[in-house]
Amino acid sequence: MGSALLDTATGRRIWGLSVRGLARAWRRRDGLLPLHLTAAEREGRYGRVEATGLLEVPAWAPFLQGFEPYGNLLAAVQEVTADRAALLAFPYDWRLPVAVNGARLAEAARRHLTAWRTQPGSHAGGRPARLVFVAHSMGGLVTRAALAHSPDLVKDTRAVISLGTPFYGAVKAAVILNGSRHDPLPALPRHRMAALAATLPGVHDLLPDFRCVDAGLDVNHLTAADVAALGGDKELATQAMEFRQRIRTYGARTLPSHRAVVGVAQPTMQSLRLADGLAHEQYVAFRTHPDGTLARDGNGIPERRDRAGDGTVYRDSASLGSLATTYLPLQHGALAKDSIALRHVRAVITEQDDELGPPMGAGEIGLAIPEDIVAGTAWSLRLTGADTFAGITCSVHDAEDDRRITTVRLGWVDDEITARVTLPVPGLYRVRVDTGGNAPVTQLVLASGLDDTGEDS
């Protein structure tokens, strides 16, 4: 959801909205309908929606929390490229199948490389220019699909840098399709997100591709029938699974000179239980032996462990077996904005990343925030991974201009480090936790008004 989208029929922007427009879209009954895939689009007749650029303003969606704009990432890449003309931003309609966007990226990358090689500055160091793909989240899947679609691009690719890409999918995608139906008081935005997601091939492409369904004494793959029972689309799920199989057949288990930046230490869904059409998320994964068989305890019960992740993608799904992996204690949306992650991107582009880390160490802080936040009503955030709050500061900022709104007091409640927060008015905010060591952990939150518990007509 990192590209702004325009409805070409109406001329209206339907994603990448202002904070006020974003809140209104989630509140209105028909606010997200322009994003729903139409019957014509499902048949492959695209063009109604156009991706006009990468996100320039923060965005928010239920379950997925915040999407930071990509201005910092673009600026970081521009700093170390020979010429601005060497850089191509590739916005895409994230609603569509990854396969479709992969084919489009392959064509755009070839055109761009061919054009750039005609420029005087393209042969720095006496070598012909090659491609470096920098991809956040779904963008890494689109990049892998592009290289599978056009294998001739592989020899012309110097490196692929992925930031929080769910190469093996994300349990959260299944939970989104289910709309948190097990919650006795589900919020309207979650219902609207589930209804939207059920129409989108792009969301079905994010479903977990690893054994994640807890069946007690066994762990199963999520099936297309399971997806349909949860509220998803069986046909779209089947198509997504078939596409993944084609990717595996092609052999795209690795990417050329792949560097993966992986978020860790954040509470992340890693498995789920299915019961009566409900998805019950679990924050543990299952251990396996090198041959892929389940590790079991002395009683034959599958062994569980919390591997955490970036809050959306669990850590073992984000690396694709890359040996050059950098672990950062960051939330999913912040991976494309954080200064340390951007330093890593610059270093790879300039071929100076051999001495970079930082290596993963102890003490990374995780941040857990509820979704149903109402302005003027107190709520609690929770920190994980810390045994003291000494030296840790927590503050809330305006998401658009980063103006500090308040500093909150941390304390112990039931053996957890928590803080009570009250946001003054409806809007989009950025919560920041700073340890003074690693980069601050941030997460975007949308506060609704008291009158937003209903819905606009």
Residue 370 belongs to a domain with what CATH number?
2.60.40.10
> Is the distance from CB of 301 to CB of 311 less than 8 angstroms?
no
User: Does the residue 441 lie in any domain?
Assistant: yes
User: Given this model, what pLDDT does residue 122 score?
Assistant: 85
β 441-448/404-408 pair status:
unpaired
User: Does the residue 274 lie in any domain?
Assistant: no
Residue with tokens 């009570």: 420
User: Do 424 and 319 reside in the same domain of the chain?
Assistant: no
User: Given this model, what pLDDT does residue 185 score?
Assistant: 47
CA 306 → CA 121, 200, 267, 328, distances in Å? 48, 30, 9, 17
Beta bridge partners of 162: 135, 260
- In the chain, the largest separation of any two C-alpha atoms, in whole Å, equals 68
Among 297, 329, 361, identify where a domain stops.
361
Among 335, 361, 387, identify where a domain stops.
361
User: Do 356 and 370 reside in the same domain of the chain?
Assistant: no
User: Does the residue 282 lie in any domain?
Assistant: no
User: Do 323 and 423 reside in the same domain of the chain?
Assistant: no
> Is the distance from CB of 230 to CB of 279 less than 8 angstroms?
yes
Tokens of 298: 């002395």
User: Does the residue 277 lie in any domain?
Assistant: no
Beta bridge partners of 404: 397
User: Does the residue 302 lie in any domain?
Assistant: no
Report how many domains make up the chain: 2
Q: How much is the pTM?
A: 0.94
User: Does the residue 401 lie in any domain?
Assistant: yes
User: Do 249 and 393 reside in the same domain of the chain?
Assistant: no
Q: How many CA atoms lie within 13 A of 180 on its CB side?
A: 17
The pLDDT tens digits along the chain (457 residues) read 999 999 999 999 999 999 999 999 998 889 999 999 999 999 999 999 999 999 999 999 999 989 999 999 999 999 999 899 999 999 999 999 999 999 999 999 999 999 999 998 887 777 889 999 999 999 999 999 999 999 999 999 999 999 999 999 999 999 999 997 656 544 678 899 999 999 999 999 999 999 999 999 999 999 999 999 999 999 999 999 999 999 988 765 679 999 999 999 999 999 999 999 999 999 999 999 999 899 999 999 999 999 999 999 999 999 987 778 999 999 999 999 999 999 999 999 998 765 555 544 345 899 999 988 999 999 999 999 999 999 999 999 999 999 999 999 999 999 999 999 999 999 999 999 998 877 899 999 999 886 554 454 3
User: Do 329 and 185 reside in the same domain of the chain?
Assistant: yes
User: Given this model, what pLDDT does residue 363 score?
Assistant: 57
**Domain around 443:** 366-453
User: Does the residue 304 lie in any domain?
Assistant: no
Residue with tokens 């939207």: 196
User: Do 182 and 150 reside in the same domain of the chain?
Assistant: yes
User: Do 199 and 54 reside in the same domain of the chain?
Assistant: yes
The residue type of 122 is S
Tokens of 20: 């006020």
User: Does the residue 56 lie in any domain?
Assistant: yes
